[in-house]
Amino acid sequence: MPKIKPRVPIGKQSPMERITNFDSVLYGYTEDQAVEEASRCIQCKKPKCEPACPVTIGIKEMNLLIAQRKFKEAYLLVKEDNAFPACSGRVCPQEKQCEGACILEKFGQPVAIGRLEAFIADWGRTHEVEIDEIKANNEDKHIAIVGSGPAGLACAAECRKYGYAVTIYETLHKPGGVLIYGIPEFRLPKAIVEKEIEHLKEMGVKIELNHTVGQNIYYYELVSQNDAVFLAMGAGAPKFMGIPGENPMDNVYSSNEFLIRANLMKAYRFPEWDTPINCGNKVAVIGAGNVAMDAARTARRLGADEVHIIYRRTRELAPARKEELQHALEEGIIFHERVAPVRFHGDDDGFIDYMELVRMELVEDEDGNISPEPIEGSTFYMECDTVIEALGTVPNRLFLDRAPDIKRDERGVIIVDENYMTSVEGTFAGGDASSGAATVIKAMGEGKKAARAIHAYISMHDTSHRQKVQKVEV
Amino acid sequence: MPFAITKMIDLDSMDYLVDVEAPEIVERFHPGQFVMLMTRKEGERIPMSVMKAENGKLTMFIRKLGKTSKELRDGITHFENVIGPLGHGIKEKAYGNVVVVSDAVCGQAENYAICEALSKIEGNTITSIQTFPSEKEIYPEEYLAKALADQHIITTEDGSFGEAGNYITVLQKMIDRGEKIDFVFGGGKLPTIKAVSTVLAKNNIDNLFTTRQMMVDGSGMCGACRLYIDGKMKLVCVDGPMFDSRKVDWDKAIKRYNMFKKKEKEANDYYEAHKGGSK
Ligand SMILES: Cc1cc2nc3c(=O)[nH]c(=O)nc-3n(C[C@H](O)[C@H](O)[C@H](O)COP(=O)(O)OP(=O)(O)OC[C@H]3O[C@@H](n4cnc5c(N)ncnc54)[C@H](O)[C@@H]3O)c2cc1C
Ligand code: SF4
Ligand code: FES
């Protein structure tokens, strides 16, 4: 084995600079850098990277085309399998997928597949490469999609290619789901997401904003007006710890609230923008996933001097993307391992003042599952003026309560068969709504596969007599 | 997408009255529900009570205090966005002797809306009690629930008109006189609701009070509007906006409602300093 060259480094804002703004941390590869990095790929006979990609992008060939400076061809190749590569290139947990499987991982550093994907997507977008996408005219058949996150968008793009009339219903005033309201600007610039959505609209996809299915438009109406329905509401309701003192304590936020204020409502530009956010100087973020990192780094950028990550397990077990955890640490965020809050204490005005915590040990049970257990007598205290609970999210009951025909498990996760069909014929589901909180790329992959299943269903069935579902209203 | 403001009246009180064109929302509106509005693209999503939803237009009272009212004062012609209807409406049925009470914008609007809905249903005898700070702030008659209720009582906090005190004074007198009260609807200032909740609890009176809380999305995604009802977490936007006042943890709810007080002032000052310039 010849000596493997290290990865081509990527330009980024220095930690001290970037905590003063919300701009993208990474500058992205230049053409020359991308060519050099793509040339590191050894063109395996049996590439291990591709099967590890949830949407099986032709990674090996993408690398070859970039190395040969055939950027347009590389862009078209990636777009075949992934409608939104500019997003996934930036947010996929590559170390657990393509890059984790890349053969070069064993000999040092894997090919920077994510960065190359983002590069080629940006290249295609800035060079306005046109793709002739719509393959047929089936506009007499209507498909309703609930939710405009990655699953809904990917499904819409694919359904439109088959020529169907597609309408997305979105509860917020901006489309994009987590890509817009959750993941911060410094990780995924909103202009990129907006451009991808603009393209979808140009393809003829209709997006009805401010439409909350189950509230101001009902599931039974969608069923009666459409040939198929795709449920892609995500799993967007926050979880709270439910510990004493939490009963709403001021400046204790769910990560969703904190990030929606900051990202969707641009509270970091308050008072120029109207939505406020209280972010103190000493912030504690509970959890260590992507959401926790995003919240912690947002707090840092909002001016917090100290930001603490409070995690029950060890840093190695943190579920966040490796790069984000590393970026967070570079930005001065302090990681506390094996600790958990047990009580909040507030001041007289109801604002959080300090937390009571315990230390945890990791205990292995007979089946080899490791779970954190509190260590007796290990109580300690930590002052803080802001707490953000990033404990993960669950499906929003607002929709589920008014669609009783849709079978779901005890957590509210919608049950689907191998063709993404729910318990109601003609209604499909994908993304976090049917898999629980997962990843952007998984949601996109499911949206696309569900679109194919919807196409097969409409092609093979008479959808003119609509399914009967219960009429449940508010 | 903008929603045209078709009428704006300075009620010569604490509030403006605003009509906005929103036919899709009007068509689906039930009394007791609320909407959210954004005055501009950079705006906040602000929850608003609705007094009337008729002929494609929503009628709302807007308090002359926050930044929104300053934008109205300065002549905005449309809202960037109106979202709704949100939350649950009341059950439109026969309740018997109903008392509807209110002492602030969010409350006065529902007072009208609920009286209007219930007056159309046989089996309801309605007493509406509307409290204002002083005589000066009382709305013109057509915007009060006067014509809709069987009995209409105005109180002023300073005693300059009608009964002195807030609606609790009147309600307590009704109870003391032994009048039969089957149900109370209400809304307005949270501290008054907290105070009335003990009266209602003592006399075992069923009730629903519109509970203001800060909101962000209004559809169950953020948890900003969380409240504790009998110790259980509920969301004002999804489960409310009306709750049995006897079961709410009011102390926490009141403190939480003031969480952004300092920021509100900052927003107001910024607006006054930059008005016209930054639009
Ligand atoms: C802060 C944060 C950071 C993350 N970081 C990463 C990351 O780095 N990498 C990664 O792979 N994954 C990440 N994830 C997870 C990833 O974003 C999700 O798995 C993915 O977005 C799921 O896509 P979706 O389309 O199923 O749902 P969502 O993106 O949640 O979209 C659902 C949409 O449906 C709308 N909706 C909900 N209910 C209704 C209704 N009743 N009517 C109409 N519309 C409705 C919502 O408003 C939303 O726009 C992150 C998640 C969060 C919250
Ligand atoms: S596994 Fe790595 S080296 Fe092999 S083809 Fe894929 S990217 Fe190239
Ligand atoms: S406003 Fe966000 S959950 Fe109610």
For residue range A434-471, list pLDDT tens digits in order. Answer: 998 889 999 999 999 999 999 999 999 988 888 889 99
Quick: pLDDT tens for B161-181: 999 999 999 999 999 999 999
What residue type is A244 in one-letter code?
A: P
B187 and B57 share one domain = no
The verdict on B7 and B82 lying in the same domain is: yes
The pLDDT assigned to B167 comes to 96
Amino acid at A147: G
Domain-ending residue, one of B86, B117, B134: B86
pLDDT digits (tens, 9 = 90+) for A395-424: 999 999 999 999 999 999 999 999 999 999
Q: What is the mean predicted confidence (pLDDT) over A261-266?
A: 94
Q: What is the largest CA-CA distance in chain A?
A: 69
Residue A398 Cβ < 6 Å to ligand 1: yes
* Percent share of chain B, pLDDT over 70: 98
Residue A96 has pLDDT above 50, yes or no: yes
Q: Report yes or no: B220 at the A interface, CB cutoff 8 Å.
A: yes
In chain A, the residue whose alpha carbon lies closest to the alpha carbon of B221 is: A237
DSSP H stretches of helix in A144-282: 150-161, 178-181, 190-202, 219-225, 255-259
Regarding whether B254 and B122 lie in a shared domain, the answer is yes
- Angstrom CA distances, A305 to A91, A187, A232, A333, A387, stand at 27, 21, 38, 9, 14
| Mean pLDDT for all residues in chain B | 92
Q: Is residue B275 part of a domain?
A: no
A59-67 vs A31-38: helix crossing angle, rounded to 10? 130
* Mean pLDDT along residues B78-91: 95
Cis status, amide bond into B85, omega within 30 of 0: yes
pLDDT at B12 over 80: no
Q: Which residue, among B227, B230, B129, has the nearest Cα to B187 in the 3D structure? A: B129
Q: Going by C-beta distance under 8 Å and a sequence separation of 6 or more, which residues neighbour residue A17?
A: none
Residue A392: count other Cβ atoms within 10 Å of its Cβ: 16
d(CA A415, CA A435): 8
* Same domain, yes or no: B149 and B239: yes
Lowest-confidence region among A215-219, B27-31, B165-169, B260-264: B260-264
CATH 3.90.950.20 at A138-236+395-460, yes or no? no
Residues B180 and B120 occupy one common structural domain: yes
A221-261 per-position pLDDT tens digit: 999 999 999 999 999 999 999 898 887 788 999 999 999 99
User: Averaged over A152-177, what is the pLDDT?
Assistant: 96
> Which of B95, B104, B110 has its CA nearest to residue B32?
B110
| Confidence (pTM) | 0.94
Are residues B120 and B216 both part of a single domain?
yes
CATH of span A245-392 = 3.50.50.60
* Helical spans, DSSP H, in chain B: 23-28, 67-73, 105-119, 167-176, 190-202, 236-239, 250-257, 261-274
**For residues A142 and A165, what is the distance between their CA atoms, to the nearest angstrom?**
5
The pLDDT of A196-208, averaged and rounded, is 93
- The CATH number of whichever domain residue B77 belongs to comes to 2.40.30.10
Q: Does the residue B28 lie in any domain?
A: yes
Are B76 and B185 in a shared domain? no
- CATH code, domain carrying B179: 3.40.50.80
Ligand 1 pocket check: which of A55, A216, A440 to mutate, most ligand atoms within 8 Å of Cβ? A440
**CATH 2.40.37.10, applies to A15-126:** no
User: Does the bond joining B241 to the residue before it have cis omega, within 30 degrees of 0?
Assistant: yes
**Intrachain domains A15-126 and A245-392 with the same fold:** no
Structure-token match 């499906």, residue found:
A395
How confident is the model over B95-120, as pLDDT tens digits? 999 999 999 988 999 999 999 999 99
Evaluate whether residue B274 is within a structural domain. Answer: no
Please, which residues 5-64 of chain B have a Cβ atom closer than 8 Å to chain A?
Answer: 24-25, 28, 30, 33, 38-40, 42-45
Q: Which of B60, B86, B112 is where one domain is finished? A: B86
A335: buried, middle or exposed (CB in 10 Å: 19+, 13-18, 0-12)? middle
Return the pLDDT at A225. Answer: 94
pLDDT bucket at A2, cuts 50 / 70 / 90: low
Q: For A271, which residue in chain B has the nearest alpha carbon?
A: B267
Residues with C-beta less than 6 Å from any ligand 3 atom:
B 215-218, 220-225, 235, 237
Tell me the Cα Rg of chain B: 18
B80 located within any domain: yes
- pLDDT per residue as tens digits for the range A28-45: 999 999 999 999 999 999
CB A199 within 8 A of CB A150: no
Average model confidence (pLDDT) across chain A:
93
Of A247, A269, A270, the CB nearest to B249: A247
Instruction: Domain of residue B113: give its range.
Output: 97-258
| Closest by CA position to A453, among listed A406, A416, A404 | A416
Nearest atom in ligand 3 to the alpha carbon of residue A256 is 2
Which of B64, B86, B108 finishes a domain?
Answer: B86
- Determine how many CB atoms are found less than 10 A away from the CB of residue B239: 20
In whole angstroms, give the CA distance from residue A168 to residue A175.
Answer: 9
Helix (H) or strand (E) holding A36, with range, is helix A31-38
Would you place residue A1 in the very low, low, confident or very high pLDDT band (cuts 50, 70, 90)? low
Residue B263 lies in a domain: no
Would you state the pLDDT for residue A78? Answer: 95
Buried b (16+ CB within 10 A) or exposed e, A393-427: bbbbbbbbebbebbebeeebbbebeeebbbebebb
Question: Measured between CB atoms, which of A257, A272, A273 is closest to B222?
Answer: A257
Q: Lay out the sheet containing A252-254: strands in order across.
A: A252-254, A386-389, A282-286, A306-310, A334-336
Chain A: give the shortest CA distance to residue B46, in Å.
9
Q: Which residues line ligand 2 (CB under 6 A)?
A: A 41-44, 47-49, 59-60, 63, 102-104, 111, 113
Interstrand relation of B183-187 and A138-146 (parallel, antiparallel or unpaired)? unpaired
Structure tokens at B49: 């009570």
* Per-residue pLDDT band at B279 (split at 50, 70, 90): very low
Question: Average of pLDDT values for B255-264?
Answer: 86
Q: Is the pLDDT of residue B64 over 80?
A: yes
| In a shared domain, residues B154 and B61 | no
Residues B111 and B242 in one domain: yes
Predicted pLDDT at B54 = 95
In this structure, the answer to whether residues B24 and B105 fall within a common structural domain is no
Atom 8 of ligand 2, residue of closest alpha carbon: A41
Q: Is A219 in the pocket of ligand 1 (CB under 6 A)?
A: no
Q: Do residues B119 and B59 share a domain?
A: no
Report the SS3 class of residue B190: helix
In this predicted structure, the answer to whether residue A187 has a pLDDT above a threshold of 70 is: yes
State mean pLDDT over A274-302. Answer: 95
Instruction: Delimit the domains of chain A by residue range.
Output: 15-126, 138-236+395-460, 245-392
Q: How many domains does chain B have?
A: 2
Q: What is the pLDDT of residue B278?
A: 45
* Chain B residues with CB-CB distance to A252 below 8 A: none
Question: Partners of A328 in the beta sheet?
Answer: none
Q: What is the arithmetic mean of pLDDT over B47-63?
A: 94
Q: Pick the closest to residue A385 from A355, A356, A352 (CA basis).
A: A352
Tell whether B151 is covered by a domain. yes
Check pLDDT > 80 for residue A133. Answer: no
ipTM of the complex model: 0.92
Among A128-132, B50-54, B97-101, B212-216, the least confident range:
A128-132
**Token digits for A442?**
């998984």
Q: Are residues B187 and B247 in the same domain?
A: yes
**What is the rounded CA–CA span in Å between residue A173 and residue B120?**
36
Round to whole Å and give the CA distance between B73 and A253.
Answer: 34
